[in-house]
Amino acid sequence: MAVERVKAFESLGQAFTTAPLLLIPDFKLPFKPNIDSSGDGLGDALHQVQIIDHKPVEGHICFISSQIKPTEARYGARKMECLCLVWAL
């Protein structure tokens, strides 16, 4: 059973780090950040629309996350989202 779990975990990790999930960034095109915050942490998924095989494809460029500090956990929703945006940039 443990071997199956390890293989499943490795397979999931591989799926999250290979195409078509992740695109190579094209710095001539605009990026779209998708930020979110909670009482536990901050997260961002960076997207970009690229033309692949003559069709627009919106794909992920990267994913990042971070825990927040105890003082930041007391922030209100608006301030927390601003913190997340500044952190992601």
Q: What is the pLDDT of residues 25-72, one digit of tens each?
A: 999 999 999 999 998 999 999 999 999 889 998 888 999 999 999 999
Answer yes or no: is pLDDT of 86 > 80.
Answer: yes
Domain ranges (residues) in the chain = 21-88
Q: What is the DSSP string of 39-79?
A: SSEEEEEEEEEEEETTEEEEEEEEEEEEEPPTTGGGS-HHH
- What backbone torsions phi and psi does residue 16 show, to the nearest 5 degrees? -80, -10
Q: Which two tokens stand for residue 7?
A: 């293989």
pLDDT for the residue 19: 60
Location of structure tokens 């950040």: 33
Q: What is the CATH number of domain 21-88?
A: 3.10.20.370
Check whether 82 has a pLDDT greater than 90.
yes
End-to-end CA distance of the chain: 42
Q: Is the pTM of this model over 0.75?
A: no
